[in-house]
Structures are given as C-alpha cells and as structure tokens.
Structure 1
Amino acid sequence: MVDDIHQTEHDPASDPEAIEELLEEDAALDIDFEDVVEAAAATVEPAEGGTGSEGSSDPALVADLERQVAGLKAQLEDRANQSMRIAADFENYRKRTSKEKDELATQIKGDTVIELLPVVDNFERARSQIKPQTEAEMTIHKSYQSVYKQLVETLKRLGVSAMRAEGQEFDPLLHEAVMREPTAEHPEGAVIEEFVRGYQLGDRVLRHAMVKVAAPPENAPDNAEAGDGADSV
C-alpha cells in the first residue's frame, strides 16, 4: 500500500497540475506553428506571384522555415501521444482506485457483520429454548422476535446469506467438521447435523458452519462397543 501511495504521488496521470501544464505547452506549440506557417507563406507567396523579393530568393531561409515547421510538427505529434498516454494512465488509475475502494467497503462490511453474528445466534437460541406459557410471556417473546426478524432482514439487504449445511455434502471451504458419526442412514461425507450456522457475504465466507459428518458404519468386532457412539475430530 505504501508503494502505491508513493507511485501515485509521482504519477502524472494523478496530478491535475501536470495535465494542465501539458495542455498549456500544447497551446503554445500551436501558436508557434501558426506563426511559422504564416511567415513561410509570406515569404513564398511573392515568388509564386512573380513579383520577386529578397525573402523569396533566399533558399536558405525557406529551408530553415521548412525545418522549423517539421520540428514543430514532430513536437506536436509527441505531445499528442504523451497526452493520450497520460489519459490512458489516468483511466487505469481511476479504475484501480475505484476497485480498491469497493474491496475496502466490502471488507469493512464483512468485519462488521462478523461481530453481529453472535447476536443472531443468541436470538435463535432463545427462540428454540424459551417456551412462553402465559400471555405476558408470549408478548415478550413476540417483542424480541420482531427485533430478531428486523436484524435478519437488515443482514439480507447487506448481501449476507445463511448456509443450509444439513443434508449437504461436506465442503471444507464452507463447513468445519467437529464430529463424525458412523451411520448407515446417510452417505459417507454428508452433513447430518448443524451445530453452528455458517454465513456468507457474497462469495466470502464470514463464518464456517460447525457440523457433524456421516462416517461409514463400524462393523469390525473390535469396535462393536463403540458402534453407536459419536467421536469428535
């Protein structure tokens, strides 16, 4: 990042004063070029009209004017090419900074959402564990559930999506296996239980889902005692 900052400070495409100075030099060259052409025309025209003059009879002066015109043309072409290069560099600089700005905004958004995920977990935990028995308890239950719903809708608008890991094939890029359970009811490698829900922001994984994964059934005699158990990994 430091190298990029130093490069930007010396990049003519990112310096408006350098561009203005270049344009002023181009304008000065245009004026000089017109003056030389007018002087050349004034010198050559009498010779074409047949009236004769000292200027028209001096081939050295005409050759010198032609050299000046050719030199100014070369300078104008060089300035035009330089202007196009600076414009292209400036466009690349603009696109690069715009991309970096978007990436930074996404990074900040993701980091903020990660801090909010435990709050979402607590709301979901309360919804599954608290069973209101009275009308007053139901009123409180509906109240905090409305807050939870508002929080979830806000996260969705930000582009956050919850993973639905249960029943899916285990993917180490999305899931974190904390237990393996030998079973014949599910194919090997399938997610059979989700302990902690995972979340994504676009393609970025904000939190891996913590899951239990199906393992092949244990049929060996040495493992008969542990046939129904679940072993952690």
Structure 2
Amino acid sequence: MSETTENKESLKEDVAEQVTENTEEVTETTNEQSQEIELTTEEYKQKVSELESKLAEEEDRYLRLRADYDNLRRRTQLDRESQEKYRAQSLLTDLLPVLDNFERALQVEVTSDDAVALYKGIDMVYRSFVDAMNKEGLELIPAEGVQFDPTVHQAVMQESDSEKESGIILRELQKGYKLKDRVIRPSMVSVNE
C-alpha cells in the first residue's frame, strides 16, 4: 500500500504542478488580455476623442453654413422688398424732364381764348400726370425758405440777403424729388451766405 500511497502522492504532486503551470499560463494569458484590453481602451478613448473633435468641427461648419444661409435669405428678402418699393424709380427719373416741361409750359402768359382753352387742357393733363406720379410715391422736396440740407439740396450759387439767416435757401432753381425715402433728384438751389 505504500506504493499506492506514493503513487497517489506523486499524482497529487503532478496534478499540483500542472495546476500551478496552468494557473501561471492562465495568469499570463489574463495579464496579456488585460494589457490588450487596456490598449484597446486607450485606442477607443483616442478614437472617441478624434470623433468628438470632428463632430465639433462639423457642428461649427453646419452652424456657419446655417448663418450664411439665413443671411442670404434675409438679403434676398430685403432686395426683393427694395425692388418692389423702388420699382418705378427708373421710369419716374425719366419722366422728371417731362414734368419740368409741363411746369414751364404752364408759366407762359396766355391772352387769347384759344390759348386759354389750350392752357386749361395742359393744366388738366399736368395735374393727372402729377397725381399718377404721386401715387407711385414721388414727393416734392421742399426748398425755398428752409435750411439747406446737403442730402436733399444741391447748392449751385450763393446770394446775400441780410433779412434771412445764413444757410437758408433763397431760390429754387430746379425742383427736387424723392421716391418714398430715396432722393432721385436733389433740388438745385441758391443759398443765403
């Protein structure tokens, strides 16, 4: 029986050795896997960091593009409104000399009955012409007796009148007009020194 006991002891020792070897192998494998997991975790952290920075860049780019689009839409809307508001500017500018000619024609003295009838007809056409232009937003710029304003008046000469203040407009040489809030022709005036 002692041999069996020895065999058992020997077997126990062999098994213990194998268990120890297996335990060491498992420990080494576990350590290697743990290092791989740590490396993988670091790689994932780095990858996540890269992706977060790319996402932040893309969000910033998106916000800039969105702001550019909003600005473009707003500018387009303002341009459309401006075009609508001042759509008649070109036509009215071209018709201002016609208006001036009507006014000159109405300044002529008439004496005969035929001339008076013609004068009345021209006056009626002139008034309807002025009404049509006013409906489009044409406004006369006040000049005589007001303070000179370089944004709406154009001084072409200076005169001296001691009874009036300096900078007051003494005479209007050519009428000026605005279309809504835009000057399309400044008044040509003579200003007191």
Which residue among 103, 108, 120 is the counterpart of 2:99? 120
CA deviation profile, 1:118-167 (whole Å, cap 9, x unmatched)? 01101111111x22212211111111111110110011111110012000
Q: Which has the higher contact order (CA 8 A, sep 6+)?
A: 2
Secondary structure class of the residue paired with 1:192: strand
Q: Give the counterpart letter for 1:210 in structure 2.
A: M
TM-score, normalising length: structure 2:
0.61
Tell me whether 1:201 sits opposite 2:179 in the alignment.
Answer: yes
Whether 2:84 is the aligned partner of 1:110: answer no
Letter in 2 for 1:111: S
The whole-number CA distance in structure 1 between the counterparts of 2:138 and 2:167 is 26
Deviations 1:23-45 (A, max 9, x none): xxxxxxxxxxxxxxxxxxxxxxx
Q: How does 1:46-195 map to 2 (within 5 A)?
A: 95-128=74-107, 130-195=108-173
- The answer (yes or no) to whether the contact 2:86–2:179 under 8 Å persists in 1 is no
Looking at structure 2, the residues matched to 90 and 179 of structure 1 have their Cα atoms a distance apart, in angstroms, of 50
Structure 1: how far apart are the matches of 2:86 and 2:119?
34
**Aligned-residue identity in percent:** 35
TM-score with structure 1 setting the length: 0.51
Q: Give every structure 1 segment of 4 or more consecutive aligned residues whose post-TM-superposition deviation is greater than 4 Å.
A: 85-95
- The offset of 1:101, in angstroms, is 1.3
Query: Which structure's CA Rg is the greater one?
Result: 2
CA distance in 2, matches of 1:112, 1:124: 19
* 1:43 paired residue number: none
Q: Secondary structure at the match of 2:132?
A: helix
| 1:179 alignment partner, SS class | strand
Partner AA of 1:134 in structure 2: S
How many correspondences in the alignment?
131
Q: 1:211 to 1:88 in 2, by over 3 A?
A: closer
Q: What's the secondary structure of 1:167's corresponding residue?
A: coil
Would you say the 8 A contact 2:106–2:122 is kept in 1? Answer: no
Structure 2 portions without partners, runs of 5+: 1-62
Write out per-residue CA displacement over residues 58-82 of structure 1, whole angstroms, 9 at most, x where no aligned residue.
Answer: xxxxxxxxxxxxxxxxxxxxxxxxx
